[in-house]
């Protein structure tokens, strides 16, 4: 429970808009989940975690979040638990989504699904086509460095070990037009620019044509990279409503937020006591 409290406090600091409850969150019991929810500055959501007696959702099925002049509907689902949860049942993923999608589409410009999916559920789920714009998937170790297009739904994964943070950026330039994923184009540009930088670093400020005058193969490579970067940048500039996905590895290069580091240090000191209880 102490770890859960620290996680929620960290999410509060990070400015979470919503938390998709998964079946694994009930390992410590339903009351613990409710206590954590009460300490959060953001709503817990789930469309398919139900009260076993009333068959009604135990959390908000979805929320509508306004960003600038657009509204985003955010709905959450989870795979079945490994073991029964007292007082709780987990309903059909697809049926639960379809139950709320019509009313969400009336209120929101874009629909985001937060989905904690076991592998088998993920495979089955993506055989369907739903009126969903973005799907943020967790539940397996899989992660992706760019978006996947599944029947018109843009899918992002950041794994389930907490090592990565996924950042989805949307540049809404033209209202009521389709979103265009440019993640792959950005990856190609970044790779080409890194190669160009390595050549420039080696030249130490000297003109590339002069520094590599005796190596025509490198000069041809540099020329090819310059052309490639320009073509890719022109293509990116021509896109309307571009969408990008960045996967950030949480390693030593990411500076700590002091408030969160303080909480983690405090938790680390208390872990031996927690483990002994």
Least confident of 43-52, 189-198, 237-246: 237-246
Task: Give the residue among 15, 100, 85 at the shortest CA–CA distance from 51.
Answer: 85
Q: Positive or negative, the Cα torsion across 139, 145, 150, 154?
A: positive
At 276, the pLDDT band (50, 70, 90 cuts) reads low
User: Which residues fall within 8 angstroms of residue 257, CB to CB, at 6 or more apart?
Assistant: 13, 14
Q: Structure tokens of 139?
A: 């539940």
Q: What is the pLDDT of residues 108-157, one digit of tens each?
A: 999 999 999 988 898 889 988 899 999 999 988 888 888 888 888 999 98
pLDDT score for 24:
87
- What are the C-alpha distances in Å from 145 to residues 164, 239, 244? 10, 20, 10
| pTM summary value | 0.84
d(CA 135, CA 148): 10
Confidence of residue 49 (pLDDT cuts 50, 70, 90): very high
């Amino acid at each position: 429970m102490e770890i859960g409290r620290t996680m929620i406090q960290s999410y509060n600091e990070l400015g979470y808009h919503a938390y998709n409850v998964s079946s694994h969150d009930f390992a410590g019991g339903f009351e613990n989940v409710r206590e954590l929810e009460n300490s959060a500055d953001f709503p817990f959501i789930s469309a398919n975690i139900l009260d076993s007696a009333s068959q009604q959702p135990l959390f908000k099925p979805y929320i509508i979040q306004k960003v600038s002049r657009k509204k985003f509907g955010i709905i959450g689902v989870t795979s079945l638990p490994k073991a029964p949860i007292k007082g709780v049942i987990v309903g059909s993923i697809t049926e639960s989504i379809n139950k709320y999608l019509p009313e969400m589409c009336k209120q929101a410009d874009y629909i985001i699904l937060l989905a904690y999916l076991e592998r088998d559920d993920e495979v089955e789920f993506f055989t369907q086509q739903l009126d969903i714009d973005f799907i943020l998937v967790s539940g397996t170790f899989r992660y992706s460095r760019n978006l996947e297009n599944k029947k018109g739904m843009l899918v992002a994964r950041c794994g389930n070990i907490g090592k990565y943070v996924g950042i989805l950026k949307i540049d809404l330039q033209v209202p009521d037009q389709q979103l265009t994923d440019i993640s792959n184009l950005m990856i190609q540009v970044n790779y080409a620019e890194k190669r160009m930088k390595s050549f420039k670093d080696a030249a130490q400020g000297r003109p590339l044509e002069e520094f590599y005058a005796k190596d025509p193969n490198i000069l041809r490579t540099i020329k090819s990279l310059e052309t490639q970067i320009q073509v890719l940048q022109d293509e990116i500039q021509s896109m309307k409503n571009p969408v990008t996905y960045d996967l950030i590895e949480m390693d030593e290069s990411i500076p700590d937020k002091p408030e969160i580091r303080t909480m983690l240090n405090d938790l680390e000191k208390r872990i031996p006591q927690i483990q002994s209880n």
